[in-house]
């Protein structure tokens, strides 16, 4: 059978367009890694390895580290749960109230419905709602709306519904424009139909590269201790998958994106999603939505930081 040149060209064009987010993020990630290596080399030149931490210092560090542990909810696929207006899930149709328009990004294009959390359907977490629905929308740009210079300005929208959905409708998001739109959904069936999630109560320590851990090491004068790697072993052990969760501390593919201005601000994880359950972030990366604890308690979801990175 002869191949249709036009069809082959269309397929190649579609594949090229779908690869744009991956290629763009790879370029950004390479630049960030290079900058990180330069910063690390400069820091090491200015701070040569010092004496190893003493047993007393190690015990103090571990005690302070344990005090940072936060409860979290591990998320896993729950295929037997129904797709409905409420419920915790990734993708699928989004519930909109009567007369409510589908959210649009700053470019005026419809946003991508990524996920929703139904807190009445989740085990309780301190500071988090006990009921209500939180919907996550992201831009369809090649960065999925992420602003790497200032994650607090990312083109995302979270819609908080304190009351259970009533009336309204389930709105199926429209097809993607292969020439203009990008989406983290690798599986179109998950994007269209949704994948329900269940939650299990757990807890998390901060990552070894977290600013929280870094701050303890600096305060204790151990940032350049000869055995700093051994000090961080308990944190490494705690970093076990799955990496789709609510609460706890964020996980990072490469490093903590939070700059000094973020250190004591965006300190609570609303939702972290890695590349599973129908999603892929660049080269099998992770994405996270973070909020200030005070805003979380006030149920103000208008100020969040969104960031994702490739492996």
pLDDT digits (tens, 9 = 90+) for 248-259: 999 888 788 886
Residue 105 has pLDDT above 80, yes or no: yes
pTM above 0.85, yes or no: no
Confidence of residue 10 (pLDDT cuts 50, 70, 90): low
Place of tokens 């995302």: 156
Q: CATH number of the domain at 12-309, out of 3.30.300.30, 1.10.220.70, 3.40.250.10, 2.30.320.10?
A: 2.30.320.10
Confidence of residue 171 (pLDDT cuts 50, 70, 90): very high
Instruction: Specify the pairing of strand 133-138 against strand 156-161.
Output: antiparallel
**H or E element: which one contains 26?**
helix 20-46
Q: State how far the Cα of 50 lies from the Cα of 83, in Å rounded to an integer.
A: 57
What tokens appear for 97 in the block?
């109230």
Q: State how far the Cα of 24 lies from the Cα of 143, in Å rounded to an integer.
A: 8
Model pLDDT for residues 16-37, shown as the tens digit of each residue: 555 555 555 555 555 555 555 5
For 121, phi then psi, to 5°, come to -95, 0
What tokens appear for 8 in the block?
């082959």
Q: State how far the Cα of 61 lies from the Cα of 129, in Å rounded to an integer.
A: 32
Instruction: Spell out the domain ranges in the chain.
Output: 12-309
Least confident range of 124-138, 159-173, 240-254: 240-254
From the list 119, 152, 155, 153, the residue with the least C-alpha distance to 135 is: 119
Q: What is the mean pLDDT of the chain?
A: 85
Place of tokens 């700059």: 259
Strand partners, 197: 77
Q: State how far the Cα of 151 lies from the Cα of 170, in Å rounded to an integer.
A: 30
For the four alpha carbons of 129, 130, 132 and 138, in that order, the dihedral sign comes to positive
What tokens appear for 192 in the block?
């269209």
């Amino acid at each position: 059978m002869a191949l249709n040149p036009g069809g082959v060209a269309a397929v190649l064009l579609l594949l090229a367009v779908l690869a744009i987010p991956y290629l763009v993020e790879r370029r950004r990630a390479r630049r960030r890694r290079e900058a990180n290596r330069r910063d690390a080399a400069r820091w090491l030149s200015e701070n040569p390895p010092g004496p190893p931490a003493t047993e007393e210092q190690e015990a103090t560090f571990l005690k302070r580290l344990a005090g940072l542990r936060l409860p979290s909810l591990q998320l896993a696929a729950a295929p037997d749960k129904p797709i409905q207006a409420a419920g915790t899930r990734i993708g699928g149709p989004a519930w909109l109230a009567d007369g409510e328009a589908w959210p649009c990004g700053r470019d005026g294009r419809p946003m991508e419905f990524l996920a929703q959390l139904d807190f009445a359907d989740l085990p309780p977490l301190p500071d988090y709602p006990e009921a209500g629905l939180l919907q996550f929308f992201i831009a369809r740009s090649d960065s999925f709306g992420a602003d790497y210079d200032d994650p607090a300005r990312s083109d995302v929208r979270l819609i908080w519904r304190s009351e259970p959905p009533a009336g309204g409708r389930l709105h199926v998001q429209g097809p993607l424009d292969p020439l203009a739109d990008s989406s983290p959904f690798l599986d179109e069936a998950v994007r269209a139909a949704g994948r329900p999630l269940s939650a299990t109560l757990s807890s998390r320590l901060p990552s070894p590269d977290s600013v929280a851990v870094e701050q303890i090491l600096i305060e204790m004068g151990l940032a350049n201790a000869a055995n700093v790697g051994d000090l961080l072993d308990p944190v490494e052990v705690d970093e076990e998958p799955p990496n789709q969760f609510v609460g706890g501390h964020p996980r990072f593919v490469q490093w903590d994106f939070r700059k000094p201005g973020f250190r004591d601000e965006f300190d609570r994880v609303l939702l972290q999603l890695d590349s599973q359950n129908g999603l892929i972030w660049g080269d099998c990366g992770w994405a996270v939505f973070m909020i200030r604890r005070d805003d979380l308690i006030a149920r103000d979801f208008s100020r969040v930081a969104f960031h994702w990175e490739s492996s």
